[in-house]
Amino acid sequence: MSKDKKNLYSLDSLKLRIKLENIKIINSDILDIKKTLVINSASGEIISEKELKSKTTDIEFKAYKIKIAITSYYDFNTKNNMEFLEIYLHSKILESNYFSGITKENVKSIYEKLMVAKVFSCSYETFLNSAINDIDIKTDLIVSNSIWSELTKNLSSRSIEFKKLGQGAKRYENKNLTFNRRETSTLAKPFVKFYDKQLESLEKNQTFFDTYFAENSLHELKRIEATCKRTKDIKEFFNIENCNLKNVLEIQQNELSNFVSSSILKNIHHAQTIKKTKSNIPNLDKVIHIHFSNSIENQKNSFEATLSEFLTHFENNRMNRYRIKNKCLKWKILNETNNTTIRGKEEIEKLNSLEEIYNLYEIIGIA
């Protein structure tokens, strides 16, 4: 498993809202004030996100599009309609720098590309100070398909069950995994998506990836995304007073990391804590057999969950922890197969990779 730890997290997409009075429409064929979409009215009727996106217009670029719309919102406090230009911005606008995500380092180049399209114009300051919501925070990693399959299988098996339709985990045949629905994502039940970017480049957005990336450059590349949808939620979680583009791009890596990790944890059952034991207990193999058998067979915990909790008893001694971990892995292998050579090595490598991912995203304590 490989990951650049300098820039783990960035924004993959967001919705930008600029007051119509602060922009100039250049191309009325694409952006027509007569086609304003009424989002809500004095009656409280609200257009759905799906319906809204179906009625947007596009700014065309090479191998991708940016959706835009003029929208009208009814302010129940002032009893007036407020009009905005909404831009459904995503990181494809970065083209060959797509995997950098939207950051404060490249936001000016994004602004300039939108201005060059000559559909609308506004000042750079207006662009930076415009309100945003519906942000997707992403992190990319290189991991083998077998480890990815094991990861999504393990997380799916520990998913919290919800009564409402569209909540909880959904694991697909291609081994991708989602928690909840993006349209109804909240801080309490956030939308999280685990998916294979290489697979996406072949099935969904092939033209874009063929245009800007070399063949096989996405080999074994995977992505995790978490959505913070509402303005209120963004302000609350990241402790910012004004939810504009400039402030959101100032959010630090550790805060973005915390959001992704906490979003996963909110969808997962935590492993049960067991009582601490002495690290030098005799007949350790017997203790491992009894504990793991009880945890897996009676408490219905996964092996990975049981291992994570069991190893917390030996955190102060790395050498002892390593020795005990290998004993646990050997117990698993001996209980599953008689082939303790090739299969055993594969199992140990797989579990080491999973533990590395859990550590990286601070979810090692989950089942």
pLDDT confidence bin for 277, thresholds 50/70/90: very low
Q: Does residue 101 sit within a domain?
A: yes
State the pLDDT confidence band at 364, using cuts at 50, 70 and 90.
low
The length of the chain, given as a count of residues: 367
And the tokens for 94? 């970065």
Query: pLDDT tens digit string along 61-108?
Result: 999 999 999 998 887 788 888 899 999 999 999 999 999 999 999 999
Lowest mean pLDDT among 4-8, 53-57, 228-232, 244-248: 4-8
Selection from 161, 363, 150 nearest residue 271 by Cα? 363
pTM of the model: 0.81
- Please give the average per-residue pLDDT across 198-207, as a whole number: 93
Could you tell me if residue 239 is left (phi over 0), alpha (psi between -120 and 50 degrees) or otherwise beta?
left
Neighbours of 142 (CB within 10 A): 15
Q: Do 237 and 335 belong together in one domain?
A: no
Regarding whether 323 and 201 lie in a shared domain, the answer is: no
Do residues 77 and 149 both lie within one domain? yes
Per-residue pLDDT at 210 exceeds 50: yes
Structural domain containing residue 171: 9-265
What are the backbone dihedrals phi and psi of residue 303, each rounded to the nearest 5 degrees, phi first?
A: -60, -40
CA atoms within 13 A on the CB side of 328: 24
On the question of pLDDT at 361 being above 90, the answer is no
Residue 67 CA to residue 60 CA, distance in Å, equals 9
- Quote the CA–CA distance of 2 and 7 in Å, as a whole number: 13
Q: Tell me what pLDDT residue 319 has.
A: 59
- Give the per-residue pLDDT at 163: 73
The rounded mean pLDDT for the chain is 86
What is the total count of domains within the chain?
Answer: 2
Exposed e or buried b for every residue in 77-89, given b needs 16+ CB within 10 A? eeeeeeebbbbbb
Indicate if 136 and 193 belong to the same structural domain: yes
Asked whether residue 223 carries a pLDDT value surpassing 80, the answer given is yes
- Does residue 224 sit within a domain? yes
pLDDT tens digits for 292-318?
Answer: 988 888 888 888 889 988 888 877 766
Question: Quick one: pLDDT at residue 325?
Answer: 83
